[in-house]
Amino acid sequence: MPSVPTRIDGPVAVIGDVHGQADKLRVILQKLARVPGIGNRWIVFIGDLVDRGPDSKTVIDMYCELAAQHSRVTWVCGNHELAMAGSIGLIQVPDFVDWPSRWLPHYDSDKTFASYGVEHGDLKGLREALPEEHARLMSDLPWSVEHAKYLFVHAGLDNNLPFNMQVNILRQRDYSLAHPAWLYDKSFVRTGPASDCPVTVVVGHVPLPQVHFGNRVIGTDTTGGVQGDLSCVLLPENVVITSGEDPPGGRPVPRQAHTAKKKPWWRPW
């Protein structure tokens, strides 16, 4: 059973691919703390918290601290988490899937090693440096999170397969797949789901200049881990919050009154 919730309901704040960008995530969380009713809103991380950016360890620390103080937090597995988990032995994979040969040279994984204080390529050292809570989370992250109106999955769906069949596959997480489309495909965010999909599919994975609201698809990755502002989408309002200056079309986030009794619902970083 995944170590984070996989079925949620009610209002949601979905955060795009963080990729070790702790400073940008900190801004997003500070803005979310001022959203009215945030205590009743789910916060969904769409995957790829690690690699590329400068501080993957701090990002996961922030996730853990947030989850300890706000019960409605969950994390969808991204292709970078899958590659990392497979490379350092956090998940059981068949011999023919050689994760290290892909993760080490192609995923900007050197930033992740550095954030844990380990030399790049020292897989055993990285596994030993991983805090137990980080290892526990990354060893069984769900491939999707389900909601009555949304499906949260890192890259999207395979429109050649029935929707219900895919949901069942996502629940099972077949680690014998070397390149699972739901975590890797780059076309879905622009094509959208097939006609049998009854919900809006919320994805990350593909870097976009701004949050994309399509036909039953929302794309949330606006940095790719290398440029631009991190984005968060409030659902069902379709309001965008960013780590920079929020888009003109987005509704302003109200500020709480400064009183002694009103404090953020998590300790500010």
Tell me, what's the pLDDT at 264?
52
The β-bridge partners of 73 are 43
Give the pLDDT of residue 149. Answer: 98
Q: Are the beta carbons of 10 and 42 closer than 8 angstroms?
A: yes
Helix (H) or strand (E) holding 26: helix 22-32
Domain assignments of the chain as residue spans, ordered by start: 12-242
Q: How many angstroms separate the CA atoms of 239 and 220, rounded?
A: 12
Give which of 13, 14, 19, 12 is closest to 228, Cα–Cα.
19
What is the residue-level pLDDT of the chain in tens, covering all 269 positions?
A: 567 999 999 999 999 999 999 999 999 999 999 999 999 999 999 999 999 999 999 999 999 999 999 999 999 999 999 999 999 999 999 989 999 999 999 999 999 999 999 999 999 999 999 999 999 999 999 999 999 999 999 999 999 999 999 999 999 999 999 899 999 999 999 999 999 999 999 999 999 999 999 999 999 999 999 999 999 999 999 999 999 987 665 544 443 333 333 455 555 44
Quickly count: other Cβ atoms within 10 Å of residue 218's Cβ: 22
Amino acid letter, 132: E
pTM summary value: 0.92
Per-residue pLDDT of 144-198, as tens digits, reads: 999 999 999 999 999 999 999 999 999 999 999 989 999 999 999 999 999 999 9
Burial 143-178 (b: 16+ CB within 10 A, else e): bbbbbeebbbbbbbbbbeeebeebbebbeebeeebe
Superfamily, domain 12-242: Metallo-dependent phosphatases (3.60.21.10)
